[in-house]
Structure 1
Amino acid sequence: MTPTPPPAAAGASPAVAESADSDTATTRYAEAETVAGRVRGLWRGEPGAGGSAAFLGIPFAKPPVGALRFEEPVPPESWEGVRDALEFGATAQRGDPGITLIPEPSVPGDATLNVNVFTPVPGIADAALPVLVWIHGGGYVTGSPASPWYDGRAFNRDGVVTVTISYRLGFDGFGHIDGAPSNRGVRDWLAALQWVQDNIANFGGDPSRVTIAGQSAGGGAVLRLLAMPAAQHLFHSVWALSGALADVSSERARTASARLARLAGVAPTRDGFASVPEDTLHALQSKAVEPESGDRLAGVRGLLDDGLSWGPEIDGDLILEPTVGALRSGVGSDKPLILGTTDDEFTMVLDSAQRKLRIVPAGLALAKLHVPRERRRAYLADNAAQRRKGTAAVLGRYVTDVVFRSTVVRVAAARGTAPTWVYRFSWPSPTRRWALHCLDVPFWFDCLDEPHVAAIAGDAPPRRLAAAIHGAAVALVRGDDPGWRPWSAAPGTTRVFGGAASAPDVVADGYRSVRALV
């Protein structure tokens, strides 16, 4: 399905400013008001004829440096005149993250708490278009809102104002510090969403129709927000792609911070950590959560048993209980939710070990991960097709299922009759073999022409698949039915995007293969 945008307000047209460069090409700008001052963005395409304006790097809080480094986000200073919003703002991600499946560049600078707004109707306060707010992934330690894949062009084309937000990462965002506010990264999400409530009408958006969405850690972030009483007034529906929950216990958070302090040679206090340069803590934060034993599998077992090391902490203040428990108690039950995963999020990680593992029985390999015997047997019985692909494929799928796919079932079950739709993304990458982590993102954003997409999706990714999943996203944001029966009405019902041509698009028990894990 190809969505069509609703009309803007009758008689309304965005204000456009023009300038000519030395080659006589015309650059068009757009302007909009914010609570802190007026901003200038850049038009892409023709205003009113399918084009949209990008406002980049608008601060929603003061730079979190100096005395504000470990503080709650503080509203930005106001400015006079018109502030340029023509380039991405600084990112909390520093330096070159190396080869990543999603291109997510780092931008230097201190003003890392900023938003990017993409809109077809800037300055038209009564346009009241629905709004999508995107939270990037990266395991809560990396990632960037400046990815070309997160550009809101396609959503703008379909009548949706789009916002991408930044937040503090790793220890700075989520580490436990005596004497400092907890969950600073979560507080950044809340502050950015409040900025949307206060300002998005001036960019043509409707603050009463905000959908939050994210992928991987970003998917975990939107599920965490859905399960937070303090966040309920800030959004109205949710889409979680490959949601990775953290739900770090207070004890675990304190232990990691204490170890980081020892590595840095300081006291585990606000003053102690503040005395350490940011880049030093970044260099040490991964070492602080590594297993101290020499067991090479200990880190994998830790991930499977405890989840991600840095991320939202159950602090007894802002976050009172684990995500699934809060959802089970009814938090967020009035809000529609769509969630799903790719079929083989992390299976590709073990491709290089395929030859070595071919002589190892799958049951023995799972035993090395301390999977109990009865669970092993049940899991292997439910995954016979994957087992025929070899032990590496089974182990990769098991990690995928524990970290991602079982979360879908637990969340959907916890919500009971609350409106919940479930899907799978099953189209295998022609370059990477599997329906792997991040592969669904350019389809969801309908940005298949972006140059980096070919590396993960090949030279001819199916546009009909992008139209299907992007169309479902637009439907949710608009408040429409996404197009298949909800899990909440018939538990197990799953939409399959990109499955075999001969297979049905909707199946009765799409996550049957993970039932031994839940």
Structure 2
Amino acid sequence: MTDTTTRYAEADTVTGRVRGFWRGEPGDGGSAAFLGIPFAQPPVGDLRFAAPVPAEPWQGVRDALEYGATAQRGDPGVTLIPEPSVPGDATLNVNVFTPAPGETDAALPVLVWIHGGGYFAGSPASPWYDGRAFNRDGVVTVSISYRLGFDGFGWIEDAPSNRGVRDWLLALEWVQANIAQFGGDPARVTIAGQSAGGGAVLTLLGMPAAQHLFHSVWALSAATADVPAVTAERIGRDVATRVGVAPTRAGLSTVPEERIIEAQKAATEVSGAGAVTKLLDDGLTLGPAIDGDLIARPTLESIAAGVGAGKPLVLGATEDEFSMIVSGAANKLRWIPLGLLLGKSGLKGARRPAYLAANRDVVARGHAAVLGRYITDRVFRTAVVRTATARGEAPTWVYRYAFRSTQPGMTHDMAVHCIDVPFWFDCLDAVRIDHLTGPNPPQALADQTHRAAVALITGGDPGWPAWSSTPGTTRVFGGGPGIPVIDPDGYAPVAPLL
């Protein structure tokens, strides 16, 4: 980004001036990118297991031309989205994409994106999260980083809880203090995320301490954690034992990052014959925890109590989120009686025939498809219904993502986890899209999906009838011939599990 043909852009922040670069022409559909701006001091040394501390001021103009360091190390191999790791200590940073840098009177709506990755992986440096399409439509876009895994969420006897959550809060405070300098309106901030990022935005929606930081929410395939306090402490003590130190900041700070990550993996691993059932029953064991401080109760309880009720919410899931984890075993699974297969996964009694009757179309696709759909429903789709129901009359819209991949292999003919993201960002020309969607993904679907996102961000309504007005009402994206765009009871197939 240092050649003489680069056109630079500059903007002020409360800690100093930054230099980004233009893509395209200013004022003619182009937008500027400011990458790796620190919102907090590097979480190393004495700050490693501390609450985030705001970034220190700098003199002169700071280059923001390359993505900053990421909390993710190496390639965990768990995400379907290209999310590169960037080495370095200054992992708490933001990326800002804007069509109006320095235009403090532009007052454009703002999107803040929180990446997924199970709370232990993922990166804000993905080319899929580039905000250029939102910029084209008059939306300033910010992607944020946060501490992952044990560093971000592990229980430590004398450390602040939920350090990754505190990172989200400080990043959102940074947006409030600085986004006007990038052409954004701090009074019109939408937070959005996918998978763990979707869980993050729902967690924030249910947090009283976060209410002043955003004004609407879009949760894609949300995976909340709500780790019970006893579980968080058990995992924290387990990690400390594995690395041979006391479960304190002083003890754990002496342990290299790579050893902590190894211990974290071992402490949270679930394997064996009952692994699927245990995962479905117990949920995530490392992520935002109920600490009695920031998160006083499970997110669903908080939402049902009315926290965040004044904020528009859109949420939904793909139809086959995790089906690919069993698709490779389809030839083996077809010989196991379906009742036995589902029973071993926790679906028993009268609920089992009711579930199969409600999902006859999936049953016709084979045993692996049914098991994959059941896992998807337990983890994601039931959560959509429970959250929408808990909101009551608070403005809530629900969707299903039904577009199936045409890519040969484990994702073929399934609406898998992450498949909606490139359509939502309208970035079908980005790298590795076809690895997930298959060749020639439909631009018309991207137009529809992205238009709905822009409509929520700019006007507080995605453009279809609200679930909160008529429960069950669901927008179906990418359903194909014979599938209604608006389904009056779009999540009926999960009813037997509720």
Same topology, TM > 0.5: yes
Would the alpha carbon gap of residues 333 and 103 (structure 1) be closer, same or farther in structure 2, given more than 3 Å must change? Answer: same
Equivalent-residue separation in structure 1 for 2:446 and 2:227 (angstroms): 35
SS at match of 1:400: helix
Amino acid at match of 2:417: H
Distance 1:266 1:156 in 2: 48
- 1:100 is displaced (CA, Å) by 3.5
Give 1:459 shift: 2.2
Give, in whole Å, the separation in 1 of the partners of 2:221 and 2:320: 11
Would you say the 8 A contact 2:127–2:431 is kept in 1? no
Q: Answer with 204-213 or 256-265: which moved more.
A: 256-265
- Once the two structures are superposed, the pairs formed by residues 282-297 of structure 1 within 5 Å of their partners are 282-291=261-270, 296-297=272-273
Partner of 2:335: 359
For residue 80 of structure 1, report the CA deviation from its aligned partner: 0.6
Q: Secondary structure at the match of 1:27?
A: coil
1:360: how far off?
1.0
Residue equivalent to 2:421: 441
- After superposition, where does 1:87-236 map in structure 2 within 5 Å? 87-98=66-77, 100-236=79-215
SS in 2 for 1:451: coil
SS at match of 2:6: strand
Are 2:37 and 1:58 equivalent residues in the alignment? yes
Helix, strand or coil for the counterpart of 2:69? coil
Can you list the C-alpha shifts for 1:258-295, whole angstroms capped at 9, x where unaligned? Answer: 1111111111222221121111101221110224xxx6
| Matched position secondary structure for 2:279 | helix
Cα distance in 1 between the residues matched to 2:56 and 2:2: 29
1:421 aligns with 2:397: yes
Q: Which residue of 1 aligns with 2:350?
A: 374
Q: 1:452 to 1:443 in 2, by over 3 A?
A: same
Q: Distance in 1 between matches of 2:191 and 2:365?
A: 37
Give 1:272's aligned amino acid: G
The residue that corresponds to 1:509 in the other structure is 489
Pairwise CA distance, 1:466: 0.3
Residue equivalent to 1:15 = none
CA distance in 2, matches of 1:200, 1:223: 22
Is the CA contact (8 Å cut-off) linking 2:79 and 2:122 kept in structure 1? no
For residue 99 of structure 1, report the CA deviation from its aligned partner. Answer: 6.8
Question: How far apart are 1:211 and its partner, in Å?
Answer: 0.1
Amino acid at match of 1:203: F
Partner residue in 2 for 1:298 = 274
Q: Which moved more, 1:27-36 or 1:91-100?
A: 91-100
> Bigger CA drift: 297-306 or 493-502?
297-306
TM-superposed deviation, 1:238: 0.1
- RMSD across aligned C-alpha pairs, in angstroms? 1.2
Could you say what secondary structure the match of 2:7 adopts? strand
| Structure 2 match to 1:5 | none
Please tell me whether the aligned partners of residues 19 and 28 of structure 1 are also in contact (alpha carbons under 8 angstroms): no
CA drift at 1:20 = 6.2
SS of corresponding position for 1:286? helix
- Deviation at 1:385? 1.3
Aligned length: 494
Letter in 2 for 1:405: R
User: Which residues of 2 match residues 298-447 of structure 1 at below 5 A?
Assistant: 298-431=274-407, 432-433=411-412, 434-447=414-427
Q: What corresponds to 1:482 in structure 2? A: 462
Residue 459 (structure 1) aligned to one of 439, 454, 467: 439
**What's the offset of the Cα at 1:375?**
2.0
Q: In the alignment, what sits opposite 1:12?
A: none
- Opposite residue 350 of structure 2, the aligned amino acid is E
Separation in 1 of the partners of 2:79 and 2:394?
36
Distance in 1, matches of 2:221 and 2:104, equals: 34
- Larger mean Cα displacement after TM superposition, 386-395 or 211-220: 386-395
Offset at residue 59 of structure 1 (A): 0.3
Question: For 1:85 and 1:270, how far apart are their aligned partners in 2?
Answer: 32
The one-letter code matched in structure 2 to 1:428 is R
Alpha carbons of structure 1 residues 20 and 353: separation in structure 2 relative to 1, 3 Å: closer
Q: Distance in 1 between matches of 2:145 and 2:362?
A: 38
| Cα shift at 1:333 | 0.2
Q: Tell me if structure 1 keeps the 8 A contact 2:274–2:344.
A: no
Residues 91-126 of structure 1 show CA distances to partners (whole Å, capped at 9, x for unaligned) of 000012337410000000000000000000000000
Which is worse superposed, 119-128 or 259-268? 259-268
Instruction: Give the drift of 1:27.
Output: 1.2
Structure 2 equivalent of residue 38 of structure 1:
17
Q: CA deviation at 1:394?
A: 0.9
Instruction: Please say if residues 113 and 191 of structure 2, whose CA atoms lie closer than 8 Å, have aligned partners that are also in contact.
Output: yes
Q: Distance in 2 between matches of 1:321 and 1:391?
A: 37
Partner amino acid, structure 2, of 1:503: I
> Does the 8 A contact of 1:57 with 1:90 survive in 2?
yes
State the one-letter code of the partner of 1:75. Answer: P
CA distance in 2, matches of 1:493, 1:370: 29
CA distance in structure 2 between the partners assigned to 1:202 and 1:370 by the alignment: 53
Is residue 41–residue 84 contact of structure 1 (8 Å, CA) maintained in 2? yes
Following TM superposition, by how much is the alpha carbon of 1:131 offset from its aligned partner in structure 2, in angstroms?
0.0
- TM-score by structure 2 length? 0.97
Q: Which moved more, 1:305-314 or 1:207-216?
A: 305-314
Q: 3-state SS of the aligned residue for 1:182?
A: coil
TM-score by length of 1: 0.94
Runs (5+) with no aligned partner, structure 2:
none
Q: Distance in 2 between matches of 1:404 and 1:20?
A: 46
- What letter corresponds to residue 362 of structure 1 in structure 2? L
Distance 1:209 1:121 in 2: 16
Q: Deviations 1:180-214 (Å, cap 9, x if unpaired)?
A: 00000000000000000000000000000000000
Quick check: 1:297–1:369 contact (8 Å CA) kept in 2?
Answer: no
Offset, 1:76: 0.8
Supply the distance in 1 between the matched residues of 2:417 and 2:78 (Cα, whole angstroms): 14
1:480 Cα deviation (Å)? 4.4
Are positions 1:268 and 2:224 aligned together? no
Counterpart position of 1:9: none
Q: Contact 2:99/2:136 (CA < 8 Å) preserved in 1? A: yes
Q: Quick check: 2:218–2:314 contact (8 Å CA) kept in 1?
A: yes
Distance 1:480 1:185, change over 3 A: closer
Specify every segment of 5 or more residues in structure 1 that has no aligned partner in the other structure, as ranges.
1-17
**Matched-pair identity in %:** 66
Alpha-carbon distance between aligned partners in 1 of 2:288 and 2:334, rounded to the nearest angstrom: 38
